[in-house]
Amino acid sequence: GSALLIGWGIDATHHAGVPLLARLEWREGLNCLFAMVLLSLPMLIALTVLMRRGAPTHRGESAMAAGLGAAAWGAFVFFFACGHDDPLYIVFWYGLGCVLTALAGRALLPVLTRW
């Protein structure tokens, strides 16, 4: 709890007077979101191949796990090219990219892995 409060205090003093929406920089954020999802696709394809070979009994849960794994990989790889260090920006755009990739995996993989 206290670490969160200290982190919030440091962040608030660093961006004093800047509106929250301006800190999100939505135009660059959409580019980051697109790149992050695109970078997660090779891992999602690889995990799909592994899922097909493994014959999962719980396809929905396996698909969600594969989507989350691919999303984490995409965010990790993109992090090295991201020019933003604002915690709000990172939490919002990276979180949105991970959610979209995980949901896409959850929606598509059960259909692709039927056996």
pTM: 0.77
- pLDDT tens for residues 72-81? 999 999 989 8
Lowest average pLDDT, out of 13-17, 25-29, 41-45, 84-88, goes to: 13-17
Q: What is the pLDDT of residue 52?
A: 86
Rounded CA Rg of the chain: 17
- Whether residue 27 is predicted with pLDDT greater than 80 in this model: the reply is yes
Mean pLDDT (whole number) for 7-27? 68
